[in-house]
Amino acid sequence: MILQINPAHPQPRHIERVAGILRSGGVIVYPTDTVYGLGCDIRSKKALETVRRIKRLDNKTHLSFVFSDLKTIADYAQVTDRAYKVLRRYLPGPYTFILKATKLVPRIVLTKRNEVGIRIPDNRISQALVAAMGNPILSSSVRMPDDQLLDDPKEIDRIYKGQVDLIIDGGVFLPEPSSVISLLDDEPVIIRDGKGDVEPFR
């Protein structure tokens, strides 16, 4: 099922409908500021297992959390004063920052190194959805079997039909992965050069 949501002014009734699906353990496809992502409630083990199965992910693969703002990040990641200054400067934006996870992070999404990816997309739909949920949601990019990123909700529906509970149509846009920056040792380390400008971290 495809649900069209206004990317500039997300309709509250639509946002609440999607949040209800997530709360009940559903898996959705939703827009961010970089790509369309597979999303679910990080507290639902069943939904997390579904995402891993769809993406054929092992336990070594990082899965990012999407937040609506900076307020609750410290509940899920260990944020030093220096790391917080970086987050405050570059988020919302097309970055994923790697930090040490706290005990609130479900074990099923942790790597052996207990790290978590932090995202606040500059996208009103994803921000409204996370705010409605009251906790972060999972983010994993939507791709074709050949690893090509998908940008058209109708094409996503054709490929993922029957595997997800809902696809949010937030428009067609050029997909580009987020830049990934590690803040594990307080000194930024570039892991992936993506949409976000990485020059300030060199």
Residue 134 has a pLDDT of 92
User: Does the pLDDT value for residue 59 go beyond 70?
Assistant: no
Model pLDDT for residues 82-103, shown as the tens digit of each residue: 999 999 999 999 999 999 999 9
Q: What pTM does this model have?
A: 0.94
Model pLDDT for residues 158-187, shown as the tens digit of each residue: 999 999 999 999 999 999 999 999 999 888
Q: Residue 22 is encoded by which pair of tokens?
A: 């997530």
What domains lie within the chain, and their CATH numbers?
Answer: 2-197 (3.90.870.10)
List residues bridging with 29 in a β-sheet: 38, 167
Residue 42 has a pLDDT of 92
User: Does the pLDDT value for residue 55 go beyond 70?
Assistant: yes
Q: What is the 3-state secondary structure (H, E, C) of 136-153?
A: CEEEEECECCCCCECCCH
